[in-house]
Amino acid sequence: MIYHIPWIYAPVRTVLAIWHQLTKSEIPELAKCSVLMKERSRVEETICAMQRAGAGSLQVISDFDMTLTRFAHNGTRVPTTHNILDNRLLIDEDCTKKMRELLNTYYPIEIDAGRTAEEKLPLMVKWWTEVHELLIQQRIRKDMLAKAVKESSAVLRDGYKLFFDHLTEQQVPLMIFSAGVGDVLEEVIRQNHVFYPNVHIISNYMDFDQTGALRAFKGQLIHSFNKREGALSHAAGLRELQGRPNVLLLGDSLGDLTMADGVSEHQNILTIGFLNDKVLGFIPERTKLISTITTPRASPLPFPCPRPPSA
């Protein structure tokens, strides 16, 4: 009937637009000016699709150092898992000096947006290999790791408790994919009381001899730019992740963007990057992913709260 009355189109359209605005479920976090997105509507669509599918379809894949841990706290840098080992209980002064020199040489390369991942790859292998050789020479003691973590200033990102608790309550698997040191990483989350059964860790694990002294690192080396290979070989084998086509991916390095490559038949991937240290490649315009959100270094962890399918 109203189709025959042209003057009524405009007001009806206006009322419909207002109604749409009023009923739209805005996500307040996305409205913050510190949050950058390539295409907000796509991000919202992805979040809504993931919420509709519910917790049973979700898996979370996260980097560790400077993603689950803070970048800085009280004005100083928070140590990475490698840097937590910089403790006289574990390594001597000479080793500290050499590890710092390597960090000063290679970390700027790791975060250099002007270099390609292909250029960085052999340099990262060199960095990690040299550091691991130094640590092996020190014959680090397994029984001293917990004390070193306790004495360190490692801090998990704000909101971590809610994040870990909620994922475990909803039985959502959390895969932590780290190029750090797995034994140290485990100890950090254990001391923060969030090492729950839904947490799976893929990282560089230490191999200790019978006396409890470090003699090697187990398995294939993981550095910041070969997470894709690790994702393909390890993640695909984890039964718990199967049948969960929606992925929340958290990272701080461009190499972290490949951590979901092992997820077969994914439906939605929401990538959240923490813009810690001039890692300009993580700015959404520069990534190939449309659903990328970038938040500043001090942002809290997201609160993943998928609604049940009926909601």
Contact of residue 271 among Mg ion, ligand TMP, none (CB under 5-8 Å per partner type): none
Q: Which residue has the tokens 């998928």?
A: 306
Question: 29 — phi, psi (to 5°)?
Answer: -60, -35
Give the active site residue among 65, 183, 252, 256: 65
Q: Does 252 bind Mg ion (CB under 5 A)?
A: yes
Assess whether 261 carries a catalytic annotation: no
Token pair for 140:
């680090």
Q: In the set 47, 65, 234, 249, which binds Mg ion (CB under 5 A)? A: 65
Using rule CB under 5 A, residue 63 touches Mg ion: yes
* Chain contacts with ligand TMP (rule: CB under 6 A): 63-66, 80, 82-83, 99, 103, 110, 127-128, 131, 178-180, 224, 253
Cβ closer to ligand TMP: 46 or 253? 253
Give the three-class secondary structure for 13: helix
Nearer Cβ to ligand TMP, position 79 or 284?
79
Q: Which is nearer to ligand TMP, 58 or 188 (CB)?
A: 188
Phi, psi of 178 (to 5 degrees): -130, 140
Centre a 10 Å sphere on the Cβ of residue 261 and count the other Cβ atoms it contains.
17
CB 20 to Mg ion: min, Å = 40
Partner whose binding site includes residue 274, from ligand TMP, Mg ion, none (CB under 5 to 8 Å by kind): none
Q: Pairing state of beta strands 246-251 and 214-217?
A: unpaired
Give 6 or 114: the residue with its C-beta nearer to ligand TMP.
Answer: 114
Alpha carbon distance 182, 208 (integer Å):
13
CB atoms under 10 Å from CB of 15, counted, come to 10
Asked if 92 is an active-site residue, the reply is no
Neighbours of 65 (CB within 10 A): 26
Q: What is the maximum alpha-carbon separation in the chain?
A: 90
110 contacts Mg ion (rule: CB under 5 A): no
3-state secondary structure of 4: helix
Nearby residues of 119 by Cβ (< 8 Å), 6 or more positions away: none
Between 253 and 294, whose beta carbon lies closer to ligand TMP?
253
- Nearest distance from residue 2's CB to Mg ion, in Å? 57
The identity of residue 157, as a single letter, is R
Asked if residue 78 binds Mg ion (CB under 5 A), the reply is no
Query: Residue 82 binds which one of Mg ion, ligand TMP, none, with CB within 5 to 8 A depending on kind?
Result: ligand TMP
Q: Which residues bind Mg ion (CB under 5 A)?
A: 63, 65-67, 252
Catalytic residues: 63, 65
